Structure 1
Amino acid sequence: MEINDHIPGKWRFRFVYGVALLLFLVAGGRLFYLTVVDKAFLQNQGEMRAVRTESIPATRGMILDRRGEPLAVSTPTWTIVASPKDLWALEEDDSVDVAPEDEIKRLAEAMGVGRSWLQERFEKNRNRSFMYLRRQISPSEAETIMAANVKGVTKTKEYKRFYPAAEVASHVVGFTNIDDKGQEGIELAYDKALEGQPGQRRYLKDLTGNIIHGVGVDKAEHPGDNIELSIDLRLQYLAYRELKAAVTEHRATSASAVILDVKTGEILAMVNQPSYNPNDRSKLEYEELRNRAVIDLFEPGSTMKPFTVSAALMSGQYNTETTIDTSPGFLRFGRFTIRDATNYGVIDFEKLLIKSSNVGASKIALSLPQDAVWNMDYELGIGTPVGIGFPGEASGNLPSHPKWHPSEIATLSYGYGLSVSTLQLAQAYMTLGNHGYRVPVSIFKQDVPTQGKQVIPRQVAKDVVKMMESVVQKGSGKAAQIPGYRVAGKTGTVHKVGSKGYEYDQYIALFAGVAPASDPRLAMVVMVNNPKGQEYYGGEVAAPVFSRVMEGALTTLNVYPDLPEGLREVRLEPKKTPYQVVKGP
């Protein structure tokens, strides 16, 4: 009995011993496999607990004007982040004698914020390992906060966009959000080109989360591309200043102005009112964001009459000496009547533009094939987007009818029944100033002349520009005159369209023109919306702005004044003086 009683005990001992030996062999084998055969696994696991990967921010590309002046640059800043999860872990860590509440109190003092507000944020994000505390602050502010030495609080580098021209170029350049993504203007339209490619680097952290040293860079960052615009900041400042002064003086609702290089199609200035400061958007209103020169549409009125005259001369039915009888000073189409200010009687094309005769323009258009004026406007880019790539760019409206009613042809001839943007109208006048040769409009600097298309015969364009000179010398555009330069242009005063039709006490004042008239270099359009002062005509409100801005632009660009009529320029070799004046055609 005694021997038999010991047998089960021995069996149990051997069983337990065997199981323990088996477990030891399995554990040993696994350890051997991980440390010898698959040692990378343990290394990766160790790195996961000690090595962290951090994104290296890339600098966003600069936006420059045509002379290399910065319009948008990125400046380095610091962002303070926290790990609420690490901070609250102090409650369960017996090795430290620090309470999370004490850390939060010290952090609140360093940040200059209320303790209760900050503690509520930490409690709300208790289980998160990442939370922004302050973004894009100065190095001194960052050092003050980091000096508090709060567990789980670190700083990272970010870049903040700065706009040196502020509100002067805001509608062209636009702005980015806090994450450096384009929101308006060039910043939005060319966001992909401007944004850089961030890099990655690894660094080693100790048990308390502090960085010991960097391990290495896995991927280098690449800065974004710089973009060089066609804008000349000198002209941009000049146009902005004068447009803002006009809006203030005439108590206008809004305004826009565009300057184009006649030969290259480059936009040298594009300004709007109201504007905004992209460096301080704390009180930004939506209406201030509108790039009105590209987005807002209006009926161009009498500024389209030079193109009606162009269509007539191109038809072969008319020449510069042809006269039109505008008597008795009005035209009736059923219940619809077109009127002139007075009965001008028999007038030629030049006087038609000087007096801005609606009846004369209508009679010309009605005598042409029904789509002649429409084709002229279409070839000049009316009704189609200019194509500079801006967000929300308007195409305008150039109505087309299978069969035209006479009143529709008539109103189209003097700029009603269609709509354009300031930029579209500037493009049309640019073509006229370029001797009828239309080149693409560009917001980027053009190093090589762009191929275009002859849409108005050269001589016709020169004849029409000559007629527009008389508008400035003798007609409603006298306020657009510039000492030493000959100016060609056309005024326009348009009734605004309201909810119930035309508002006869609200106007749009326009002036469009080119200079110097003998060989145009610049085209400019000024649009002032709803001037509420005593003056509201285009010749009173918009033409003076044109004169001041164009004079400054021509002198800034060193454009020679026009030679007197009957004289021509002859270059000397070697060139000792700018030109020699001789008589002759």
Structure 2
Amino acid sequence: MSSSAAPSGLARLRTTARSLAAGGAGPDPNRRTRNRPRRGDLLAVKLPAWRSKLLLFGLFCAFSALSLRVIYLQGGWSTGFLQRQGEARYARTLPEAPTRGTIFDRNGVVLASSVPARAIWANPDDFDANAKQKAQLARLLEMTPEDLRRRIANDDRSFVYLRRQLDPEVAQRIEALHISGVHSTKEFRRQYPEGPVTSHLLGFTNVGERGLEGVERQYEGMLGGQPGLRHLIEDRLGHTIEDDWLHEPVQGQDIALAIDDRIQYIAHAAVKQAAEANLAHAAAAVVLDARTGELLALANWPDFDPAHRAQFDLNQVRDRAVTDMFEPGSTLKPFSIATAIENGVVRPDTVIDTSPGHLTIGGRTITDAHPHAGLTVEQVVAKSSNVGTAKIALQMPAQTLWETLTAVGFGQVPQAGLSGAVSGRLRPASTWRPVEQATIAYGYGISVSLLQLAHAYLVFARDGDIVPVSVLRRSEPAASVQVLSPATAAMMRHMLELATSDEGTAPAARIQGYRVAGKTGTARKMQDKRYTDTYISSFVGFAPASNPRIVVAVMVDDPRAGRYYGGDVAAPVFGAIAAGTLRAMQVTPDAPAMQVAQAAVPGG
């Protein structure tokens, strides 16, 4: 059995060899395992051809989309969003302050100017400083490290001011710290060389150099100019890589005021001295050029230093000469008398019976401080008789007196170019009862400002005409309005000069070498619609009486040193201001040197 099996196996091998030699496949010795999968066949997964092509196409589309997006972004089409996002992180638009205009007095003296300063600001996102740098920065900024931390940490903006109007030298020391995210910008700081002397007149600006009060506010359009804008681009380290102007600043214009710095100093010193000597609540003075209407001085007390805004007090900042209203008292009497003379009701020598020193009208009694018998119209003015003035006023229609008061500016805002000017209070004549007509004639029932009062007296200092007040220096004469005849104005100058004589209420207003004219005023203050025992003492006059060059108005509010009559309190202030002003203007004296009276007759 074994011998037969061996030959058959040999025969198969021979057959296979011959098949291979002939190129045939030969018989499969393992025919029984022909359909069993081999190991290599298990790892080979055959996929449909369309699936591989789809995958290749998808990869091609994705690559193409990315390529197009890169070209789209790099080519600069519709990249506004990305630019905005980039600029929000690395671009700044910074305001560039213009140089504010300088304010000069009439002689070219600088009253207000702007000096270079620096603003320190930071980008909280870029701020990076160690503990030592933070401490040094806080010290230079004059704040505590904790304040500095809060300023930067609590601000969600990309721009925050750390300090404004810093000295350039300090700003340089801050820049030398090389703190990332901290920068400085040029700006200006307003300076007032005269300090409190011109404070109410000039006013002041805020930290951004925008006028808030006085001349600074009134002429903001001229002085302020227009700020510029800078476009700043920085790298991620805070270094500036691009700095371009969006538009450059328009510098402010200089202006020349009518103020004379010397006269302003004289007025301020006199007002301050009077307020302190009389323990007064406040005081003010106005000086006008009688020929041009220009404002030569305007002073108030209490005053303030415009360079120290943090110490401001409303009681100090208020420009009382322009904004405060008060009943003028006897300083209004000359207008009532002038109206009566102008309309032929009385003459200067007309005798008015003022006895027994009081007059009852509609249940109300008008009294004189000192009873008199018969007084001429001149004496009514000189001795400041309420009864005499009331009797003269009642001889005229109320409308006639109202027209004169309106013509000289009462009840209207003065067009003087001063911020905060008020119109006062003058009711229509149709509403006046007889008693009101009488009291208005001597200064009660009407409210005025000191500026209005000084302006109105121009009609007496001039030939019956009046010009507007101007805080700016005039290059040409202003147009005037005729209110009284020159003859009436001359008569009133004579009467007002008598008021400063020994027989009048204001001999203390006289000054050596010059003839002066004017009128005192003493008016009770009203509170809660009732008159109190507090007073406004005033005096308005002009000099030289023979050819007036200046008008000076003085008001002392609530003197408490024992005296309150205008002749005692306000008239000496007029004398001090007028004397210094006439000398500063080099006005030729019109009278021989005389001994200034030491005492005044009470009244007015």
Give TM-score, length-normalised by structure 2.
0.85
8 A contact 2:100–2:252 mirrored in 1: yes
Higher CA-based Rg:
2
Distance 1:456 1:325 in 2: 26
Equivalent in the alignment of 2:102: 62
Specify which of 575, 580, 585 is matched with residue 557 of structure 1.
Answer: 585
Distance 1:50 1:370 in 2: 74
Q: Secondary structure at the match of 1:85?
A: coil
Equivalent in the alignment of 2:515: 486
Q: Secondary structure at the match of 2:542?
A: strand
Q: Deviations over 1:254-280 (max 9, x none)?
A: 111101111211111111111111111
Q: Secondary structure at the match of 2:67?
A: helix
Equivalent in the alignment of 1:570: none
What is the 5 A alignment of 1:41-52?
A: 48=87, 52=92
Equivalent in the alignment of 1:418: 446
Q: Deviations over 1:42-90 (max 9, x none)?
A: 9967984766543322112222222222222111111211222123xx7
Inter-CA distance 21–228: structure 2 relative to 1 (3 Å threshold): same
What is the 5 A alignment of 1:36-435?
A: 38=77, 48=87, 52-87=92-127, 104-105=134-135, 107-108=137-138, 111=141, 113-125=143-155, 127-212=156-241, 214-402=242-430, 404-435=432-463
Question: 1:223 Cα shift?
Answer: 0.8
Q: Higher mean Cα deviation, 313-322 or 99-108?
A: 99-108
Equivalent in the alignment of 2:550: 522
How many equivalent residue pairs? Answer: 551
Q: Secondary structure at the match of 1:526?
A: strand
8 A contact 2:282–2:556 mirrored in 1: yes
Specify which of 49, 53, 63 is matched with residue 14 of structure 1.
Answer: 53
Distance 2:506 2:137 in 1: 66
Q: Deviations over 1:91-130 (max 9, x none)?
A: xxxxxxxx866754564465564434433443323x4322
8 A contact 1:34–1:41 mirrored in 2: no
Question: 1:143 Cα shift?
Answer: 2.1
8 A contact 2:116–2:168 mirrored in 1: no
Distance 1:489 1:36 in 2: 84
Q: Secondary structure at the match of 2:311?
A: coil
Q: Deviations over 1:496-518 (max 9, x none)?
A: 22336222x32211111111111
Distance 2:508 2:132 in 1: 72
8 A contact 2:151–2:162 mirrored in 1: no
Code of the residue aligned with 1:14 in structure 2: it is K
Q: Deviations over 1:443-487 (max 9, x none)?
A: 111111111210011110011111111111231111111211111
8 A contact 2:229–2:246 mirrored in 1: yes
Inter-CA distance 403–180: structure 2 relative to 1 (3 Å threshold): closer
Distance 1:54 1:274 in 2: 40
Question: 1:562 Cα shift?
Answer: 2.1
Distance 2:433 2:408 in 1: 23
8 A contact 1:250–1:531 mirrored in 2: yes
Distance 1:303 1:102 in 2: 68
8 A contact 2:102–2:114 mirrored in 1: yes
Distance 1:394 1:412 in 2: 19
Distance 1:180 1:524 in 2: 33
8 A contact 2:294–2:469 mirrored in 1: yes
Distance 1:110 1:479 in 2: 56
Inter-CA distance 396–26: structure 2 relative to 1 (3 Å threshold): same
Q: Deviations over 1:515-561 (max 9, x none)?
A: 11111111111010111012221111111111111111111112222
Distance 2:369 2:320 in 1: 31
8 A contact 2:513–2:591 mirrored in 1: no
Specify which of 61, 65, 69 is matched with residue 26 of structure 1.
Answer: 65
8 A contact 1:472–1:489 mirrored in 2: yes
% same residue: 40
Code of the residue aligned with 2:451 in structure 1: it is L
Give TM-score, length-normalised by structure 1.
0.88
Distance 1:358 1:53 in 2: 68
8 A contact 1:262–1:431 mirrored in 2: no
Code of the residue aligned with 1:551 in structure 2: it is A
8 A contact 2:107–2:260 mirrored in 1: yes
8 A contact 1:110–1:148 mirrored in 2: no
Distance 2:180 2:409 in 1: 63
Code of the residue aligned with 2:52 in structure 1: it is F
Q: Higher mean Cα deviation, 398-407 or 551-560?
A: 398-407
8 A contact 1:34–1:42 mirrored in 2: no
8 A contact 1:232–1:268 mirrored in 2: yes
Inter-CA distance 144–371: structure 2 relative to 1 (3 Å threshold): same
Q: Higher mean Cα deviation, 526-535 or 137-146?
A: 137-146
Q: Higher mean Cα deviation, 194-203 or 311-320?
A: 194-203
8 A contact 1:439–1:450 mirrored in 2: yes
What is the 5 A alignment of 1:452-463?
A: 452-463=480-491
Question: Superposition RMSD on alpha carbons, in Å?
Answer: 2.7
Q: Secondary structure at the match of 2:125?
A: helix
Code of the residue aligned with 1:509 in structure 2: it is S
Q: Secondary structure at the match of 1:449?
A: coil
Equivalent in the alignment of 2:9: none
Question: 1:381 Cα shift?
Answer: 1.0
Inter-CA distance 272–369: structure 2 relative to 1 (3 Å threshold): same
Distance 1:442 1:563 in 2: 30
Inter-CA distance 67–7: structure 2 relative to 1 (3 Å threshold): farther
Structure 2 residues not aligned, in runs of 5+: 1-36, 593-604
Q: Higher mean Cα deviation, 364-373 or 308-317?
A: 364-373
Question: 1:10 Cα shift?
Answer: 4.5
Distance 2:238 2:230 in 1: 17
Distance 1:119 1:216 in 2: 31
Code of the residue aligned with 1:554 in structure 2: it is L
Inter-CA distance 401–211: structure 2 relative to 1 (3 Å threshold): same
Q: Secondary structure at the match of 1:312?
A: helix
8 A contact 1:300–1:420 mirrored in 2: yes
Segments ≥4 residues shifted beyond 6 Å? 39-43
Code of the residue aligned with 2:115 in structure 1: it is T
Distance 1:193 1:179 in 2: 16
